[in-house]
């Protein structure tokens, strides 16, 4: 449940409370109405959590409804992705998902009803002429020359539009409202356009499709929605929403309310811009882990609970605002810190050969899967005379102080995470002078014990057993854009793409058990960050970095 009852009620809860107290409604019905023309993104998550959360809080229901009124841009693949995303977030709806296309016949009948009541007419202005006739914010519009067309003629032409006898763009059906209204949305808006395109659900049955503004409120009325909650950009459309409800014989009278949408810095959430990123292959698809889509976040390793916790923390207000992405990242780290198993991965491995292993018993080292949660159990980590450590954890520079370099130095000691203390004794290099191997010695009896007197390890480093470690690739992700507001300034948003948003590192070494990891398992690779296995071919082991242990963008 996303609605936090410990917080003061926000303005929509106050409205619902008042409606229930006054018996204006007896059961709360909300809806989440995505258009299936792309994948859901983090902004949609706030709306999902709000609509489903309110229904849950008040013992009502929330419909998942696809506003599939524009087959030119819609696809069944988007329907499937949206359905999966909502379920993954942990929300369920009563019965089957709803579709605007299920109501096409009823909407058409209501369109004819408006024509018979002299509230709609078939107009032959083209798109450019219609814009000119509509006027501006400071100038009233001009009536269409077809505005006073007889209802019988409009009905005849509407039928011809419907059965495909009229060319695309030649005619539209428009509501007859007020061309002098200060609200441009009321200046005879379009109800139907001709689109001779097959629909993913209705096939070739229709040659005309309703506009979103005409369909949306009537869908709400058919479903008995009591509180139609939209983002703030639809506030100017509310008078039109109310006009349709008032002038049609709808079975219920829903009310629309608007709240501020979620905007994140270093991010774009415009579907048009996300589609451009996909179409121009700046990313590898809608579920690319750099994308702010719910599918992308899931693939990157962000949990559903982290997204819900973040959305629950946000204000539900009547104003738009931009949230610092670091706030979202805080909830991601907070969730993973508690729920991610610990493991070790060496991203840039260098071989360490232990020269005195005859002094110890080689077998396995037992380590907890989580330092603060015994219920996560323990794992056995193989340990042999050859291990890998990260190249950044070793230096030949013996002049560095312990404060400046808390890792392995020639002639000095370091503790292996969960294991022995070792000392670096010698390095072996190739002809080019690159280190190929570090010779080191083990300090016996130091697993889980304090260092012997006279030995003071510089620090603790992670490692993996060289004989059993699995090769893997690590995808290191960063923010997709290098500036806080990619849409600001004179440049196109694509100019601000971060060239370091994805770095693929091959030849990494990971604990052998992680070969069995599956997407959706969360790991903290100790001292590196949080990772999950990517959705990839079975013969390749790839881990995506969800987020680092610390915010690397802090000044």
Cα–Cα separations (whole angstroms), residue 242 to 216, 226, 469: 11, 13, 65
Return the closest-CA partner of residue 38 out of 102, 82, 90, 100: 82
- d(CA 432, CA 413) in angstroms, rounded, equals 27
HEC profile for 124-165? CCCHHHHHHHHCCCCCCCCCCCCCCCCHHHHHHHHHHHHHCC
| Count of beta carbons in the 10 Å neighbourhood of residue 334 | 13
Cα–Cα distance, 290 to 116 (Å, whole number): 52
Torsion 216-220-226-227 (CA) sign = negative
Give me the DSSP letters along 262-312: EEETT----HHHHHHHHHTTSSSSTT-TTSSBHHHHHHHT--HHHHHHHHH
**H/E/C letters for each residue in 189-207?**
CEEEEECCCCECCCECCCC
Asked if residues 155 and 115 have their Cβ atoms less than 8 Å apart, the reply is yes
CA 403 – CA 342 distance, rounded (Å): 26
Contacts of 429 by beta carbon, 8 Å cutoff, 6+ apart: 435, 436
Percent of residues in the chain assigned helix, strand, coil, to nearest 5? 30, 25, 45
Total H helices, total E strands in the chain: 12, 29
Copy the structure tokens of residue 273: 């811009």
Angstrom distance (rounded) from CA 238 to CA 260: 15
Active site residues: 35, 261, 271
Spatial separation of the C-alpha atoms in residues 166 and 158, rounded to whole Å: 9
Rg of the chain on CA atoms, in Å: 31
CA-CA distance, 84 to 19, in Å (whole number)? 33
Burial 365-401 (b: 16+ CB within 10 A, else e): bebebbeeeeeeeebebbbebebbbbeebbeeeeeee
CB atoms within 10 A of CB 303: 21
CB 376 within 8 A of CB 429: no
Q: Calculate the alpha carbon distances from 436 to 289, 352, 458 in Å.
A: 34, 9, 23
Strand 413-416 vs strand 460-461: parallel, antiparallel, or unpaired? parallel
Greatest alpha-carbon pair distance for the chain in Å reads 102
Give the integer Cα–Cα distance in Å for 101 and 209.
Answer: 9
CB 70 within 8 A of CB 198: no
């Amino acid at each position: 449940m996303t609605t936090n009852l410990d917080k003061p009620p926000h303005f929509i809860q106050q409205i619902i409370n008042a409606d229930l107290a006054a018996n204006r409604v007896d059961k709360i019905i909300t809806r989440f109405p995505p258009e299936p023309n792309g994948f859901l993104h983090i902004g949609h998550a706030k709306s999902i959590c709000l609509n489903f959360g309110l229904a849950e809080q008040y013992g009502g229901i929330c419909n998942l409804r696809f506003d599939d009124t524009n087959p030119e841009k819609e696809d069944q693949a988007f329907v499937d992705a949206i359905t999966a995303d909502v379920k993954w977030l942990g929300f369920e709806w009563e019965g089957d998902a709803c579709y605007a296309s299920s109501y096409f016949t009823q909407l058409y009948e209501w369109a004819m009803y408006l024509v018979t009541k002299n509230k709609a007419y078939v107009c032959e202005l083209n798109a450019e002429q219609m814009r000119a006739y509509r006027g501006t914010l400071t100038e009233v519009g001009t009536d269409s020359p077809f505005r006073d067309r007889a209802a019988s003629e409009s009905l005849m032409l509407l039928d011809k539009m419907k059965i495909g006898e009229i060319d695309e763009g030649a005619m539209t059906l428009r509501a007859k409202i007020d061309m002098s209204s200060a609200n441009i949305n009321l200046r005879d808006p379009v109800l139907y356009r001709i689109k001779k395109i097959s629909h993913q659900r209705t096939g070739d049955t229709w040659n005309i499709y309703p506009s979103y503004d005409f369909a949306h409120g009537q869908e709400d009325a058919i479903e008995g929605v009591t509180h139609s909650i939209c983002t703030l950009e639809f506030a100017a459309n509310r008078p039109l929403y109310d006009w349709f409800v008032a002038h049609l014989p709808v079975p219920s009278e829903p009310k629309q309310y608007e709240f501020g949408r979620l905007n994140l810095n270093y991010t774009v959430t415009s579907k048009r811009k996300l589609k451009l990123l996909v179409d121009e292959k700046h990313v590898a698809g809608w579920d690319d882990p750099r994308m702010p889509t719910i599918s992308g976040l899931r693939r990157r390793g962000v949990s559903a609970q982290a997204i819900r916790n973040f959305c629950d923390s946000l204000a539900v207000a009547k104003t738009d605002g931009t949230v610092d992405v670091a706030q979202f990242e805080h909830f991601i780290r907070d969730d993973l810190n508690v729920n991610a198993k610990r493991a070790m991965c060496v991203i840039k491995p260098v071989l360490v050969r232990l020269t005195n292993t005859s002094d110890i018993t080689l077998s396995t080292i037992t380590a907890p899967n989580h330092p603060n949660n015994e219920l996560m159990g323990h794992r056995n980590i193989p340990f042999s005379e050859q291990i890998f450590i990260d190249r950044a954890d070793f230096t030949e520079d013996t002049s560095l102080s312990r404060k400046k370099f808390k890792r392995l130095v020639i002639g000095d000691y370091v503790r292996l995470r969960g294991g022995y203390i070792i000392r670096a004794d010698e390095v072996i290099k190739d002809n080019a002078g690159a280190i190929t191997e570090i010779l080191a010695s083990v300090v016996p009896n130091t697993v889980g014990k304090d260092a012997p007197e006279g030995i003071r390890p510089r620090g603790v480093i992670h490692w993996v057993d060289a004989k059993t470690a699995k090769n893997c690739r690590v995808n290191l992700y960063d923010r997709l854009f290098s500036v806080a507001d990619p849409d600001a300034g004179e440049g196109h948003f694509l100019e601000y793409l971060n060239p370091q948003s994805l770095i693929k590192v091959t030849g990494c070494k990971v604990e052998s058990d992680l070969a069995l990891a599956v997407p959706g398992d969360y790991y903290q690779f100790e001292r590196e960050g949080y990772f999950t296995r990517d959705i990839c071919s079975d013969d390749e082991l790839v881990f995506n970095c969800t987020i680092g242990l610390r915010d690397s963008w802090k000044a």
